[in-house]
Each structure stands twice: as C-alpha cells, then as structure tokens.
Amino acid sequence: MTATLYIVATPLGNLADLSPRAAECLRRVAVVAAEDTRRTRGLLSHLGAHPQLLSFHAHSGPRRVEMLLEILRSDRDVALVTDAGTPGVSDPGPELAAAARRHGFPVVPLPGASAVTTALSASGLPADRYVFLGFLPRKGAERGRLLARAAGEEWSVVLFEAPARLGALLGDLLALAGPDRQAVVARELTKMHEEFRSGTLAELADYYSREEARGEVTLVLAGTGSPPPAPDRSEDARALATRLLAQGVTRREAARQVTEQLGLARNEAYRLVTEL
C-alpha cells in the first residue's frame, strides 16, 4: 500500500464543525503536520487522537517538505492541517501537496470549513462567481494593484484582514470603489461572538474608525455588476498585422489571426489590416 497525504479541513472555531471523516482520519494517521502544533494539540486531545505531531507552516522550507516525504516513503500516512479552515487556501499546503503528488503519493482532500465560503454564504452578496484575494500586502505597488483589482471587479471579492488593519483596508477601498459600494464584514465566524455587519463602504469605514474590530475578519466586497472595460489592443493588433503582412500572409488571413489571437471583432481586424 502507498502512504497517503490527507489535506484535512479543520473548524474555524466551533469544534462540532469537524466532519466525522476528518475526525476518523486524525485518529488513524501516523503523523499530523500542523501550522501551529499548540493549537492542533488541543483539537487532537478533544478527539482522543495521539499521532506524532510535526510543525509545518509558511516558513518551514524545503527541508521540512523532504522530512514529510520521507515519512510517506516509510509507508506512514500524513494529515496536513492548519490553524483553522482548509489548508492551501491562504494557508500553508500547496508546496507539500505538489511535492507529494510529484513523488507518486496520493493526495486526498477531506473537505470542510473555509472562511471564504462561510462568509460568502451568509453575506447576502452574489456568490455564483467570486474572486478571492486573501490577505493583501501591507503596502507597496502590489497592494495598490490588488486594491484596484478588487474595486473594479465585476464579481464579489473576498479578502482576509487582521483586525487592527481593517479600518485602513476599508478606507483604501472607499477611495477606489466609492462610498456607496456594498460590503460585509464577517467576524469570528462560527465562534461565540460571530458577527456580520453589512453596509456601504462609507458606513463600514465610519463604524470601524470608532469601533475596534476584534478576532479574525473576512471582508466580502460587492462587485461592480458589469465587466471591466476591455483593454485597448489596437497597437498590439497593428503590430501583429504588420508582422504578418511582412511575412507574405494575405490580408484576410492576417485579419483572421488578429481576431483569433487578440480577440478583436472580425470587421475591426479587417479594417485595421486594410489600412496598413
């Protein structure tokens, strides 16, 4: 039998949310790789489970991945868990799952809690399509790019944020998306002090400028409801058409390739080609 890496979703807060299948897995596996061993030890104690517990977090590095691969090679199953929710979703896990699969070990997900879907399901905002951006950088160009992406997105956007920085995030989104954009702040999901606060960005920014957010925060931002404007590809199309014509391609064929490669309307592509 080949050892298996199990990707096990754990509760966001309420231990009753752990699935029976996940509980059975954690009792049975030889090793549990945990983001925070102290936190996971409490869950294992609650289950009466006694596997070997190893640390595996965002800064573990390739040596720890190799150690876990060696455990799998010794025919011992490994379960990967994070502090809460689903491993790999804004949490450690993708590199271990990829390495295990690359070395021929089965990778089996045990689905369960995720702050993303939990917040979306109760937000009241459309969730048939959504974009998940996780934690944004605290500063810099990448933060600005992702904020602009969130503000201009057609669909609902889900973000994670530390409570102390929620006010700054709401203020930045307010400046880009406007005061009337709807949003929902989901706090302490599944826990005793769970709270959903909905309103416009102006209302939420004002509230959290006066009230300190506490606990883990998931923000759902309403989308614009309409697709972003298509980028101007005319210069790219002109350059491509010029190159194709120089290679002896017919105008009709050049227009077809411009349409296919750059997504221009067929008549627009043909007009551009004939003008060259």
Question: pLDDT tens digit string along 20-40?
Answer: 999 999 999 999 999 999 999
pLDDT reported for residue 1: 56
227 found inside a domain: no
pLDDT reported for residue 210: 94
- What pLDDT band is residue 157 in, cutting at 50, 70 and 90? very high
Q: What order of strands is seen across the sheet that includes strand 5-8?
A: 52-55, 31-34, 78-81, 5-8, 107-110
229 found inside a domain: no
Q: Kindly give, in sequence order, each residue whose CB lies less than 8 Å from that of residue 20, ignoring residues fewer than 6 positions away.
A: none
181 found inside a domain: yes
226 found inside a domain: no
Do 196 and 212 lie in a common domain?
yes
The rounded Cα 276 to chain-centroid distance in angstroms is: 45
Do 13 and 47 lie in a common domain?
yes
Instruction: Provide the domain limits for residue 262.
Output: 234-275
pLDDT reported for residue 230: 64
User: For the chain, what is the domain count?
Assistant: 3
Looking at residue 172, its amino acid is D
Could you tell me the CATH number of the domain that includes residue 174?
A: 3.30.950.10
In the predicted structure, residue 242 carries a pLDDT above the cut 80: yes
Do 122 and 106 lie in a common domain?
no
In the predicted structure, residue 229 carries a pLDDT above the cut 90: no
Do 17 and 91 lie in a common domain?
yes
Q: Percent of the chain beyond pLDDT 90? A: 79
- The mean pLDDT of 165-176, rounded to a whole number, is 96
Do 31 and 92 lie in a common domain?
yes
- What pLDDT band is residue 80 in, cutting at 50, 70 and 90? very high
Question: pLDDT tens digit string along 112-139?
Answer: 999 999 999 999 999 999 999 999 999 9
pLDDT reported for residue 159: 98
Could you tell me the CATH number of the domain that includes residue 105?
A: 3.40.1010.10
User: Which helix (H) or strand (E) segment is 219 a member of?
Assistant: strand 217-221
Among the three residues 48, 80, 113, which one is the final residue of a domain in this structure? 113
Question: pLDDT tens digit string along 44-69?
Answer: 999 999 999 999 999 998 999 999 99
3-state secondary structure of 20: helix
pLDDT reported for residue 233: 73
Q: 226-250 burial by CB neighbour count: b if 16+ within 10 A, else e?
A: eeeeeeebeeebeebbeebeeeebe
Do 50 and 76 lie in a common domain?
yes
| pTM (2 d.p.) | 0.81
- What pLDDT band is residue 111 in, cutting at 50, 70 and 90? very high
Do 127 and 182 lie in a common domain?
yes
Among the three residues 113, 137, 159, which one is the final residue of a domain in this structure? 113
Do 9 and 85 lie in a common domain?
yes
In the predicted structure, residue 140 carries a pLDDT above the cut 60: yes
Do 45 and 101 lie in a common domain?
yes
- The mean pLDDT of 86-105, rounded to a whole number, is 95
Mean pLDDT for the chain overall:
94
Question: pLDDT tens digit string along 1-23?
Answer: 589 999 999 999 999 999 999 99
Among the three residues 221, 242, 263, which one is the final residue of a domain in this structure? 221
pLDDT reported for residue 84: 95
Strands 195-200 and 217-221: unpaired
In the predicted structure, residue 235 carries a pLDDT above the cut 70: yes
CA distances from 21 to 18, 107, 215 (A): 8, 15, 28
43 found inside a domain: yes
228 found inside a domain: no
Do 139 and 209 lie in a common domain?
yes
Do 205 and 122 lie in a common domain?
yes
Do 252 and 263 lie in a common domain?
yes
First to last CA, the chain: 66
- What pLDDT band is residue 264 in, cutting at 50, 70 and 90? confident
pLDDT reported for residue 150: 97
- The mean pLDDT of 191-195, rounded to a whole number, is 96
75 found inside a domain: yes
